[in-house]
């Protein structure tokens, strides 16, 4: 190697990065002790940004394109390094390439169930998972806040932190939405858009943007899922009596096709009886006849007063009155009174007592005279 080749090897002429990874966010150009030649070519591809740093301080940032480097187009770096104007000698600095493309299919999920109060089912525990995408919008801020001087910074180094933020904000958004459990699937998109709008400001200081937030599934514990399945099955059956009749008819038809099957008809009858019992037990309460009201208590017995022979007696209940009429102590001409009558009235003219007199036998005839000797 000649002298000029050795000298030429001490300088860097082209600075570029071809990304062979899908997870690299920041890559430091391997300068070692070589100096960057004044006039070197900087090649920044689409979805990249080049950040020049001097002694750990962020200097100039270049977007996509080809740039011929000189101290004249590195104003911030020139100030940081205290270079004099028009200094054309080679210089030393660190160059970091930042990947600004959108990183998709990043996963998130709730490590523990979220406890919520559902308007229909009461307290429930929900789990959720999905994906999100993000991109770097400010390469300088991203290096200052997250990457630092890491020469090879990947998405895995910040994935856990991002998931914690997203899950926490998702729980808040879900609780505030008030959407019932059974209607959540129809609001996945709305919840995702609401969450992005709510948390976007938290990522701006890091030079990042959440481009998309997707909710793929919100689930309940297995025992709650089974209960919901049973409830849905009962709703599909509808009228259980009709369903039992239909099932019985189908079973009878199957038995008719296989008459030699022992005990088949007995099984059908037993199943039909059991289905009828279950159907009766599951009918709505409205179908059960309402219990009849207890009969009203009979009114209290009427108290009567009588004046046989001009002497008042009483009060007499209907039984005592009947006995005195039967004994002849009270006749149709005897005066009687009860509450509601305008005054004393002959018993035979009182409608309630006329029937009692009709059941009294007439008086015995006089005895026959003795026969002649």
- Identify whether the C-beta of residue 215 lies closer than 8 Å to the C-beta of residue 239: no
Q: What is the mean pLDDT of the chain?
A: 78
Q: Catalogue the long-range contacts made by 188-192 (C-beta closer than 8 Å, 24 or more residues apart).
A: 188/214, 188/215, 188/216, 188/218, 191/215, 192/130
Higher pLDDT pick, 190 / 254: 190
Is the pLDDT confidence value at 298 over 50? no
Share of the chain above pLDDT 90, in %: 21
Is the pLDDT confidence value at 45 over 90? yes
Is the pLDDT confidence value at 102 over 50? yes
Is the pLDDT confidence value at 311 over 90? no
Mean pLDDT of 291-308: 62
- Specify the CATH class of 103-141+150-220 in words: alpha beta
pLDDT at 143: 93
What are the tens digits of pLDDT across the range 19-30?
888 899 999 998
Residue spans of the domains in the chain: they are 3-99, 103-141+150-220, 304-343
Higher pLDDT pick, 110 / 255: 110
Higher pLDDT pick, 232 / 87: 232
Structure tokens at 76: 């911030």
pLDDT at 27: 93
C-alpha distances (whole Å) from 79 to each of 115, 138, 211 are 55, 21, 36
pLDDT at 71: 74
Phi and psi at residue 242, to the nearest 5°: -65, -40
Q: What DSSP string describes 173-211?
A: HHHHH---GGGGGGGHHHHHHHHHHHHHHHHGGGTEEEE
Share of the chain above pLDDT 70, in %: 72
Q: How confident is the model at residue 363 (pLDDT cuts 50, 70, 90)?
A: low
Q: Which residue reads 């590195």 in tokens?
A: 74
Is the pLDDT confidence value at 372 over 80? no
Is the pLDDT confidence value at 114 over 70? yes
Per-residue exposure over 34-52, b if at least 16 CB sit within 10 Å of its own CB, e if not:
eebbbebebbbeeebbbbb
Is the pLDDT confidence value at 291 over 80? no
pLDDT at 261: 56
Is the pLDDT confidence value at 176 over 50? yes
- Of the spans 234-243, 286-295, 324-333, which averages the highest pLDDT? 324-333
pLDDT at 2: 46
SS3 364: coil
Tally DSSP H helices, then E strands, for the chain: 10, 16
Mean pLDDT of 302-330: 81
Among left, alpha and beta (phi > 0; psi -120 to 50; other), residue 206 is alpha
Is the pLDDT confidence value at 314 over 80? no
């Amino acid at each position: 190697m000649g002298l000029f080749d050795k000298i030429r090897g001490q300088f860097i002429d082209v600075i570029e990065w071809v990304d062979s990874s899908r997870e690299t966010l920041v890559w430091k150009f391997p300068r070692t002790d070589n100096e960057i030649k004044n006039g070197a070519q900087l090649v920044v591809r689409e979805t990249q940004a080049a950040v020049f740093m001097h002694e750990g301080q962020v200097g100039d940032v270049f977007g996509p394109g080809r740039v011929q480097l000189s101290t004249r187009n590195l104003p911030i770096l020139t100030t940081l390094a205290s270079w004099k104007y028009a200094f054309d000698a080679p210089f030393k600095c660190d160059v970091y390439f930042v990947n600004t493309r959108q990183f998709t299919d990043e996963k998130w999920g709730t490590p523990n169930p979220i406890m919520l109060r559902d308007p229909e089912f009461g307290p429930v525990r929900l789990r959720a998972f999905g994906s999100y995408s993000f991109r770097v919008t400010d390469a300088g801020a991203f290096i200052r806040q997250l990457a630092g001087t890491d020469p090879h910074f990947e998405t895995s180094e910040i994935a856990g932190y991002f998931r914690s933020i997203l899950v926490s904000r998702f729980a808040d958004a879900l609780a505030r939405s008030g959407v019932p459990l059974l209607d959540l699937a129809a609001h996945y998109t709305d919840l995702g858009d609401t969450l992005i709008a709510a948390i976007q400001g938290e990522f701006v200081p890091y030079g990042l943007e959440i481009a998309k937030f997707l909710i793929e599934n919100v689930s309940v514990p297995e025992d709650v899922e089974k209960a919901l399945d049973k409830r849905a099955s009962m709703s599909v059956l509808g009228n259980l009596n009709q369903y039992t009749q239909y099932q019985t008819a189908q079973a009878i038809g199957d038995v008719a096709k296989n008459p030699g099957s022992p005990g088949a008809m007995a099984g059908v009858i037993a199943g039909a009886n059991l289905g009828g019992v279950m159907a009766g037990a599951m009918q709505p309460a409205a179908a059960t006849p309402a219990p009849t009201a207890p009969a009203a208590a009979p009114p209290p017995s009427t108290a009567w007063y009588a004046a046989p022979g001009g002497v008042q007696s009483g009060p007499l209940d209907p039984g005592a009155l009947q006995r005195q009429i039967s004994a002849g102590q009270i006749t149709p001409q005897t005066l009687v009174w009860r509450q509601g009558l305008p005054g004393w009235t002959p018993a035979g003219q009182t409608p309630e007592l006329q029937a009692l007199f009709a059941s009294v036998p007439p008086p015995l005839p006089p005895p026959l005279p003795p026969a002649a000797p």
